[in-house]
Amino acid sequence: MGVALAEAVAGLGVGRARVKWPNDVWVDGRKLAGVLIETGGELGGPVDAVIGVGLNVQMPADWDHGIDQAWADMAGEGGETDRNRVAAGALGALIPALEQFDDHGLDAFLDRFGQLDALAGVPIDVVLPTGRVQGRALGVAGDGALRVALASGGERRFHAGEASLRRS
């Protein structure tokens, strides 16, 4: 979903949109959009997904309601600001991406994620409930896990839901 949303945002005039694992969209290190996905279903059976998308279209200039990270909006990046056109552009990318994922799985998105990866090669802190792990982002594995070259040596993989990321 992050890949499709970044591509949609690019089509709406923000060509510098990149994906921050697992599903945020960044512009120059600032969060423009985020996707939350809740899944449920049976092991080996059908899966249901509830997908929420938040996209900053035109934030008030004095906005500061406890946001703890740098943010961007479509207006400030010279992108489309008509909410109907933004919604149509996003849905026009997200719906086909869901169909593609259903047909081909994550493999259909790995190369595209690599091209849009905002953290590739960047020093990061992986924030876990038990503390922080420092390393360098290596991209996404075939199962969607974030690959990290650890500062202490070796490589470790992290899955969405168990960790959050910060640039070091």
Question: Which of 156, 114, 116 lies closest to 135 in space, CA to CA?
Answer: 156
Q: How does pLDDT run across 14-52, given as a tens digit for each residue? A: 999 999 999 999 999 999 999 999 989 888 888 898 999
Question: Average pLDDT for residues 75-87, to the nearest whole number?
Answer: 97
R_g of the chain computed on alpha carbons: 16
Per CATH, the number for 123-167 is 2.30.30.100
Question: Under DSSP, is residue 26 helix (H, G, I), strand (E, B) or coil?
Answer: strand
Domain spans, the chain:
2-116, 123-167
Give the pLDDT confidence score for residue 146 in this predicted structure. Answer: 95
Say what the pTM is: 0.90
More confident residue, 121 or 47: 121
Q: What does the block give as tokens for 9? A: 């945002």
Amino acid at the residue 89: G
Do residues 162 and 168 touch, judged by C-beta distance below 8 A? no
Q: Predicted confidence band at 65 (pLDDT cuts at 50, 70, 90)?
A: low
Is the predicted pLDDT of residue 6 greater than 80, yes or no?
A: yes
Residue given tokens 């990061």 in the structure block: 124
Same fold, 2-116 and 123-167: no
Sort 88 into a burial class: Cβ within 10 Å, 0-12 / 13-18 / 19+: middle
Do residues 92 and 9 touch, judged by C-beta distance below 8 A? no
Average confidence score pLDDT of the chain: 92
Euclidean distance between CA atoms 82 and 8, whole angstroms: 14
Per CATH, the number for 2-116 is 3.30.930.10
